[in-house]
Structure 1
Amino acid sequence: MTVVVALHFMLVLTFTTRILLRDDLSPPGRLAWFIVLNVLPYFGVASYFLFGEIDIGNRAIRRHDDIFTEIRAKARSFMGDKSSVESLIDPLYRPGFRYAGSINGFHTVGGNTAELMADGDATRARIIADIDAATEHVHVLYYIWLNDNMGTDIAEALIRAAQRGVSCRAMADGLGSRAFIKSKLWQRMQQAGVELAVALSFRNLILTMLLSRLDLRNHRKITVIDGRLTYCGSRNSADPEFLPKAKYGPWVDIMLRFQGPVVAQNQLLFASDWMQTTGKSLDEFELKTEQIAGGFPALVMGVGPTERRGATPQLFSNLIASAESELIITTPYFVPDATVLESLCAAAHRGVAVTLIFPKRNDSWIVSAASRSYYHQLLDAGCVIYEFKGGLLHAKTLTIDGCVSLIGSSNIDLRSFDLNYENNILLQDHATTMSIRQRQQVYINNSEKVELATVLAWRYYRRIWHNVIATIGPVL
């Protein structure tokens, strides 16, 4: 019995010491792990071993650094110039664009256009038509690729393109698309000549568990066609009905179709993932750029466990701080860190009309509980919160003053902040921002406003539950 107690003590002490030695762990994160280790020590030790540290491995980090060294050496002209922000961006919003440019080295480029897709059916039809019209190459990357109408149509379009001699590369995440990459359709794509790759594959599960984390995922959604157009937004290669979680559907997404120099940046971001996964060189990619007269300035930013820590919440904070009159955010998963939470409250306190739109029913009970733990503080500061009732609002959007927009795959939660590879486009354009703003208003019209009095009237056990989940959120 004494030996068991001693082993128990040493096990907990070892992991507690490891947590205390980490300089990269936030105080709330450290506290969450302490609570789990003391309340459920063996579960806590196992969880920390599997999920406690955001480490994709030194080899992957070195490879990432080598890839971007190669990209800067061979494709610097496509990455934009750091000084361009001074002439292209309104002084009020320059800090956000400067910060975004510091993440990957993709800087603001002018001459871009964007078209907001009307709905899910229009998005699918337009992407398929664009792939069918491709003459040079098609590159796609999706976190979730399902064997449904959307997933099948994209796969069949890639097969047709490859058969007529178009260079096609398709990549899917090893977890999010685990069923599809084992399907006959995936095999047919390969047989037709589509080059395939699996991001963060589970081929060596034991090695992944020992050297990295199982839940580090590639959450990006990238489509690039002929180097002249790209799609960016929240939609995976899946139908709005999203059959794996149909009871929460429909998934309500937003997609924009871009043309201009920002396409080359998205191409380079795709190439970086392809090179990381396959070991190939940038020389296999044909790059081009075309400025469109009267187009707006924009840039691509990608984050992930091989980029610097804290890039996403710091970007959000910079953008929130630049808002003068209005800030509207939609996200399905809202579990902010202190940086973003305080920035939102500060914006509301200084008179910015801050509107937050979340889904009323969430497919993650953890996120749902944690999100509502912040409602009191946000409402008390003057933020306005809506809960969308027409399905699961999956759109990730941010608009500022009707001038600046951020759109892409990043949620405002700890997974997007620390664990996932994400892609976004930041732009300054009144017309494009207002089209997104109008779509946000459609979401508001289909939402229920959350009143402070309602939150204060929640029963004590509900409030305790929300706060407990938020406290151990960094572990979950």
Structure 2
Amino acid sequence: MSQDSEGFWLFSPILFHWLLSLTFSFRIIMKRRNIGATLAWVSVMLLLPYVGVGVYLLLGEMRLGKRRERRIRQLIDPYKQWIQSLSEGYQVDWTNAPDAAKYLDRLAARSEGTPTLPGNSLELLDDCEGVLRAIIEDINRTEETLYMEFYIWHNGGVADEVLEAVIKARRRGVITRVLLDSVGSKDFLKSANCKRARKAGVEIVEALPAGIFRAIFRRQDLRLHRKIVLIDGHTAYTGSLNLVDARYFKQDAGVGQWVDLMVRVQGPAVEVLATTFLADWDVETEGRQIDLNEDTGVVRQEAKGNAMVQVVPSGPGFYPDAIYQLLLTTIYSAREELIITTPYFVPDDALHTALRTAAARGVEVTIILPAHNDSWLVRYASRSHYDSLLKAGVRIMRFNAGLLHAKTISVDKEFCLVGSVNFDMRSVWLNHEVTLFVYNHAFCDHLCYQQRQYILQSEELQASDWAQRPKQERILENIVRLASPLL
């Protein structure tokens, strides 16, 4: 073999890597996604021979799968019409509401069609066992329908008692439907408890099934992250708590018990939560077990309180960028005080700038984060934002009483957000989430009180102390930050 041939075969893998990487880099550029994510993916392509292309094919594009995309196209118009029709007969009084609430209402209504509905009764529940006990009490009273949707169902403790209540409800004739994420609930779905519930007649559906073969056709990290319970179509729970007993969940992670918030809802907003569940169920079952106009378990609601609530579902397919726009608008609407709690804090440039700008214009911005996180990647990506935020005057509180998992935002003590959305790009763009936008002073007061309880259990991060951290920590933070658009 000649030297020229030997040289060609020696360098051909390198040439092929560059050709492949440049081809996919061009594809990424033409997708016109945000610049941070584009540069991050191009870097992955060029720096990781062949592996970068493989990772991109698995995780780089919003591939929902042909069947799922087809089903969503079939559902999106009828479900949006149904949601929009919910506002008929309800009169929203914006007299005492802040201007920002009106802007958010208009933005959400135009982006995804969900209206603000008056007449809701809201109860903020901040104790894990107390939440599960309340759910059990409501399940024991249910007569017709019980719908549940969670990212994680984990065996152990009071969670097992919830399952017993579900099985008993089914045995007395209640229609029971449970939708669980394939990845988050994989252990439960394989468990004897799940088999026993199915044998009793409980309909348990695995959402977004994951696997090596499926990765060829659909992106595997698009997850169902909502937490919803619906009882007889008139009572609902939603928030950040998975169906887990915190005393038995991830006790070997070294972060303490998880700390969550849930909201018990009665009133017209329950209809939107029910519609959200039904849309998810319809996609997973292709409508085989539910008819949009029959057997839905959704009943017309009477006023139960005085809270105005806008339920905002988000996620790829139905509402791809609604929550992102609403989060930005929420931050920019703050005039005096902005308090955020989130377990995973990896904002993109726009959200990061919005927080710094709020602090610079005199808003007291406080971000409450768990002192210890169960993801080291997120931990270091999050810390890479601290320097500039602290310099801008943002207060960063590190919660020491467990892994603070509550996802909340309060603005000027006037309105607030509670739901399942984390302050990271995965939650904003990739996961199916749900958030309550609450325009009610009394409920906001309750949430602000709870946020201040979290602050009392936290230690404020001082800029002078943070500047003294080891140099190797800074290097690692900045390296991991390069991948933050992908987290």
Task: Please give the range of the TM-score, normalised by the shorter of the 2 chains.
Answer: over 0.9
Secondary structure at the residue paired with 2:422? Answer: coil
After alignment, is 78-87 or 318-327 more displaced? 78-87
**Alignment CA distance shift 1:156-1:293 (3 Å):** closer
| Aligned with residue 35 of structure 1, among 21, 39, 43 | 43
* 8 Å contact from structure 1 (residues 115, 256) kept in 2: yes
User: How far did residue 466 of structure 1 move?
Assistant: 0.8
CA distance in 1, matches of 2:327, 2:175: 36
> Which residues of structure 2 form unaligned runs of 5+?
1-9
Instruction: Say yes or no: does 1:48 pair with 2:56.
Output: yes
Structure showing greater Rg = 2
* 8 Å contact from structure 1 (residues 296, 427) kept in 2: yes
| Aligned with residue 263 of structure 1, among 257, 270, 277 | 270
> Which residue identity does 1:343 align to in structure 2?
A
* 8 Å contact from structure 1 (residues 79, 265) kept in 2: no
Greater share of residues in helix: 1
* 8 Å contact from structure 1 (residues 82, 107) kept in 2: no
Secondary structure at the residue paired with 1:301? Answer: strand
CA distance in 1, matches of 2:112, 2:319: 9
CA distance in 2, matches of 1:322, 1:139: 35
> Which residues of structure 1 form unaligned runs of 5+?
none
Partner of 2:344: 333
CA distance in 2, matches of 1:308, 1:274: 16
User: How far did residue 151 of structure 1 move?
Assistant: 2.9
Give the length in aligned residue pairs. 473
**Alignment CA distance shift 1:2-1:120 (3 Å):** closer
CA distance in 2, matches of 1:279, 1:236: 25
Identity %: 37
| Aligned with residue 12 of structure 1, among 5, 11, 21 | 21
Partner of 2:121: 113
Secondary structure at the residue paired with 2:459? Answer: strand
**Alignment CA distance shift 1:66-1:439 (3 Å):** same
Secondary structure at the residue paired with 2:297? Answer: coil
CA distance in 2, matches of 1:226, 1:424: 21
Partner of 2:149: 141
CA distance in 1, matches of 2:88, 2:184: 32
User: How far did residue 75 of structure 1 move?
Assistant: 5.7
CA distance in 1, matches of 2:120, 2:437: 11
Deviation per CA, 1:29-74: give whole Å up to 9, x if none.
1111222222222221221111111221344233223223222455
**Alignment CA distance shift 1:117-1:82 (3 Å):** closer
> Which residue identity does 1:172 align to in structure 2?
L
Secondary structure at the residue paired with 1:110? Answer: strand
Partner of 1:251: 258
After alignment, is 238-247 or 299-308 more displaced? 238-247
CA distance in 2, matches of 1:78, 1:183: 39
**Alignment CA distance shift 1:308-1:265 (3 Å):** closer
User: How far did residue 245 of structure 1 move?
Assistant: 4.9
CA distance in 2, matches of 1:100, 1:82: 17
| Aligned with residue 186 of structure 1, among 187, 194, 205 | 194
Partner of 2:221: 215
Partner of 1:351: 362
Partner of 1:101: 109
* 8 Å contact from structure 1 (residues 96, 322) kept in 2: no
> Which residue identity does 1:392 align to in structure 2?
L
Normalised TM-score (structure 1): 0.95
Normalised TM-score (structure 2): 0.92
| Aligned with residue 453 of structure 1, among 461, 464, 468 | 464
Instruction: Say yes or no: does 1:240 pair with 2:246.
Output: yes
CA distance in 1, matches of 2:251, 2:111: 34
* 8 Å contact from structure 1 (residues 80, 109) kept in 2: no
**Alignment CA distance shift 1:95-1:469 (3 Å):** same
| Aligned with residue 477 of structure 2, among 460, 466, 469 | 466
Deviation per CA, 1:158-187: give whole Å up to 9, x if none.
100011111111110000001111112112
Pairing 1:120-139 to 2, within 5 Å after superposition: 120-139=128-147
Secondary structure at the residue paired with 2:186? Answer: coil
| Aligned with residue 172 of structure 1, among 180, 199, 219 | 180
* 8 Å contact from structure 1 (residues 101, 299) kept in 2: no
Partner of 2:5: none
After alignment, is 290-299 or 208-217 more displaced? 290-299
